[in-house]
Structure formats: structure tokens, C-alpha cells
Amino acid sequence: MKYFQYYDLPNWNIVCQKLRDYVNDNPEFFSNTSLSAFRRSADGNVLANIPEITEMIKPLNCTIRVISFYILYEHTDDSWIHVDGGAHATRIILPVLNCDNTETRYYVSDSPLTELKQPNGLSYRVLDQTSNYKQVATLHVTQPAVHRVHELHGVFLPKDQVFPRITCGIGVHEDLTHLLK
């Protein structure tokens, strides 16, 4: 099983630059830490500002369900290793701001999981014993990728990380796990 697959999607550099502009034009991204893992609906501002997103994902034969920003304001630790909530097992991830040298790391564990809620109300599940896991894959967040969000994962940040660190997640209606066999 693959945990992720990189894709050289059309005009992804332009999309990522426009996402960066969008974030830089919205001061709330830099001041409101309750926005962590903030989610905007697909028919909101993001798609209106960046229509290239629709064209960009066409090679993946999927349709946009939701566009969200995943925002980190501080270093993470083992307690952030988690499985995303929700029914959708895959998502498209794009680097937006301060993602160089950061990684999404995948793990396996036989520890039970406990359900928690993000400040925005979305649920996720974390390991009961944070010492009990093994890293099995590393996604470098420097280009678009389709990745699994129902497998254990966490974000690795280097010591000199600049914050906020922001990625964009595009949720789609279709299950893309067939791309990750």
C-alpha cells in the first residue's frame, strides 16, 4: 500500500503562489490561532479567487468537495500523531507557506486511538500511547500529492521552522485510494 503519490499537476506552482497571496492578504491567518486546521467550503472565497484549482485537479478525475487550510502556529510533538476524522480516506495536499523542509510522516502502531475535537469542531483520533509507533513513510510537502488521511500521520517540522506553516487540503467527492495501490 502506498501512503501518498506526488503529482506534477498543471499550473500547480501558479495555484500555490495564489494560495500564498490569498493567505498573505488575510491577516487572520497570522493572528487567530483558533484557525488551526481551519476549513472553508469549496464554494467560498478560495475557489472564486483561484479558479485554476478546478483545472489543476482535472488529471485526477475528481470533483472538489471542500478546500481547507491546515495551519500550524507552533512545533508539534508525538501527541499530534493522528488519524483524520470524516468519511473520506484521501485528500490532495499542496504546500502554501513555510513548508520547505517539513514532512508529513506516516506511522503504524498497535496502540488504541482516542477521539478528540479540533477547535473548529472537526474530530480526529490520536494514539493512547505516544511512544508506541513506527515510522513507515515520509511525504515531503514541496509539491502536490494525493495522500491517505485515515492512516496514522503527523507533521515533522525542523528546529528552525518559521510559523505559521500552512498547507492546503483539497477534499474531493471521489475515493482516490485506487491511485495509491
Which residues contact Fe ion by CB under 5 A?
Answer: 84
Min dist. Cβ of residue 121 to Fe ion (A): 15
The residue among 18 and 165 lying less far from Fe ion, judged by its C-beta, is 165
Min dist. Cβ of residue 3 to Fe ion (A): 12
The residue among 7 and 80 lying less far from Fe ion, judged by its C-beta, is 80
Phi, psi dihedral angles at 171 (to 5 degrees): -90, 140
The residue among 84 and 103 lying less far from Fe ion, judged by its C-beta, is 84
Q: Single out the residue of 151, 168, 113, 110 nearest to residue 2, CA to CA.
A: 151
The residue among 80 and 163 lying less far from Fe ion, judged by its C-beta, is 80
Q: In whole angstroms, what is the distance from residue 119 CA to residue 33 CA?
A: 9
What is the Cα 70 distance to its own chain's centre? 6
The residue among 18 and 147 lying less far from Fe ion, judged by its C-beta, is 147
Burial classification of residue 92, based on how many CB atoms lie within 10 Å of its CB (0-12 exposed, 13-18 middle, 19 or more buried): buried
Which residue is nearest to Fe ion, using beta carbons?
A: 84
Min dist. Cβ of residue 84 to Fe ion (A): 4
- The DSSP line for 141-181 is TTS-EEEESSS-EEEE--TT--S-EEEEEEEESS--GGGG-
Q: Which residues contact 21 (CB under 8 A, 6 or more apart)?
A: none
Min dist. Cβ of residue 125 to Fe ion (A): 10
Q: Single out the residue of 96, 36, 75 nearest to residue 155, CA to CA.
A: 75
Min dist. Cβ of residue 174 to Fe ion (A): 19
